[in-house]
Amino acid sequence: MIRAEKLGRRFGDYVAVEDVNVDIAKGEVFGVLGPNGAGKTTTLRLLTGLVAPTSGRAEVAGISVIDEPERVRTKVGILTETPGLYARLDAIENLRFYADVYGVNDPLPKIQHYLERFGLWSRRHEPVGAFSKGMRQKLAIARAVLHDPEVVFLDEPTSALDPESSRIVRDLVEELRAAGRTIVLCTHNLDEAERLCDRIGVLKRTLLHVDTPKALRRKLYGHLVEIDTLGTVPDAVLEALRALEGVREVTARGEGCVASIADPRTDTPRLVSLLVERGVPILRVAEQARSLEDVYLDLLREGGRP
C-alpha cells in the first residue's frame, strides 16, 4: 500500500531524511518512532505529497507522490502537526467544508458520529478558534478520517489529548485497522506504539530498524529470565549456570538470579535442570520483559547499531 525507495529530503544543505526504504502492507499499522527533529513529520509529508522528495521515490496506493501528489492526497487522510482549521467556522462547518472537498455523500451523520465520539457534539456551534488545543486536535482527527480514506497518516495524534480522549483515538485506530485501512502513526508514546502497531520503524534521519514491537525488543537484547529460589544461589552454581550454552550472563539477585539468554525455549529448561541437579529449590521462573522504551533509548544511544 505504501512503498518508499531511497526516499530523502534536503532543506538547503541540511539532510532531514535520507535513504528511507519501506514497504507497508494494506491493513498494517506502522509506527514511526524517533527523537525530536528525526524527520518523522518530514517523512509523513513526503509520503502524502505535501513536500516533494529531493531523492528517491515513493508510492501510496500505487500512485507516485512525485508525479501525482494531488491524487495521493485524495486517497489519504492526514493529521498534521499543525492542523489548519478555520478558526471562524464552527466544528460542523469545518468538517462540512472538508466533506465537500472530498466529495463525501451525506456527510452529516458521519460528522455527528465523530463529534459525538470525541465529545464535541455539544460544542458543535462554537467557532473553532475558541476551542482548546485538544479539542482542535480531536476535530482534526475527525477530519482526517471523515472521507474514509484507504490510508491514514497520523502525526502524534494523542500528543495533546487527555487519557480518555487518547483512548478514543486508540480505539479508532483499532477500528480502522479492522476495516482494512492502512495507518502510519508517528508517536513519542512508546506504550501506544507497542499496543497499536504491527511494525515499528525507528527513524533518525533514516530508518534504523523496522520490526514488530516484540521482535524489536527481543532481537537486539535477548531475553531475561528471572528465577526465584528458596535461599540464595551458591556462587559455584552461578558459575555453572554461566557456563551453559546460550547463557550470556547470570547475576545473583536476593534469593534467586536473573539470566540473560538467547532463546527461552532451549535455554530456560537448561537453567532449570541445572538448578534442580544442584539441589536449589525453584519457586518461580518468569521471563522479564524489557520495555520498548529501554530498547529504544539504547538503540538511539548506540546510533542504531546493535
- Residue range at the interface with ligand ATP (CB under 6 A); choices 36-44, 66-74, 134-142, 226-234: 36-44
88, 129 Cβ separation under 8 angstroms: yes
Could you say which of ligand ATP, Mg ion, none residue 157 binds, taking C-beta under 5 to 8 angstroms by partner kind?
none
Could you say which of ligand ATP, Mg ion, none residue 268 binds, taking C-beta under 5 to 8 angstroms by partner kind?
none
Please state the closest distance from residue 40 (CB atom) to ligand ATP, in A.
3
**CA angle, corner 29, sides to 28 and 30, nearest 5?**
105
130, 122 Cβ separation under 8 angstroms: no
Nearer to Mg ion, 40 or 181 (CB): 40
d(CA 76, CA 280): 60
Q: Interaction with Mg ion in 27-46: which residues (CB under 5 A)?
A: 40-41
Among 18, 6, 21, 10, residue whose Cα is nearest residue 201: 21
| Residues counted in the chain | 306
28, 182 Cβ separation under 8 angstroms: yes
d(CA 201, CA 90): 37
d(CA 5, CA 7): 5
The residue from 39, 49, 53, 157 that contacts ligand ATP (CB under 6 A) is 39
d(CA 88, CA 105): 24
**CA angle, corner 206, sides to 204 and 208, nearest 5?**
75
Could you say which of ligand ATP, Mg ion, none residue 229 binds, taking C-beta under 5 to 8 angstroms by partner kind?
none
Q: For residue 36, state whether it binds ligand ATP (rule: CB under 6 A).
A: yes
In three-state secondary structure terms, 113 is: helix
Number of residues interacting with Mg ion: please give it, by CB under 5 A: 2
Q: Cell 529504544 sits at which residue?
A: 296
Q: Interaction with Mg ion in 41-80: which residues (CB under 5 A)?
A: 41
Nearer to ligand ATP, 1 or 202 (CB): 202
- Residue range at the interface with ligand ATP (CB under 6 A); choices 39-47, 253-261, 264-272, 274-282: 39-47
The DSSP code for 253 is -
State which residue has the least CB distance to Mg ion: 41
d(CA 216, CA 219): 6
d(CA 199, CA 179): 18
Please state the closest distance from residue 154 (CB atom) to Mg ion, in A.
11
Nearer to Mg ion, 42 or 94 (CB): 42
Nearer to Mg ion, 182 or 187 (CB): 187
Residue 288 to residues 138, 256, 264, Cα–Cα distance (Å): 37, 14, 11
Q: For residue 82, state whether it binds ligand ATP (rule: CB under 6 A).
A: no
Could you say which of Mg ion, ligand ATP, none residue 16 binds, taking C-beta under 5 to 8 angstroms by partner kind?
ligand ATP
Could you say which of Mg ion, ligand ATP, none residue 149 binds, taking C-beta under 5 to 8 angstroms by partner kind?
none
Q: For residue 94, state whether it binds Mg ion (rule: CB under 5 A).
A: no
Q: Which residues bind ligand ATP (CB under 6 A)?
A: 11, 14, 16, 34, 36-42
Q: Which residues bind Mg ion (CB under 5 A)?
A: 40-41
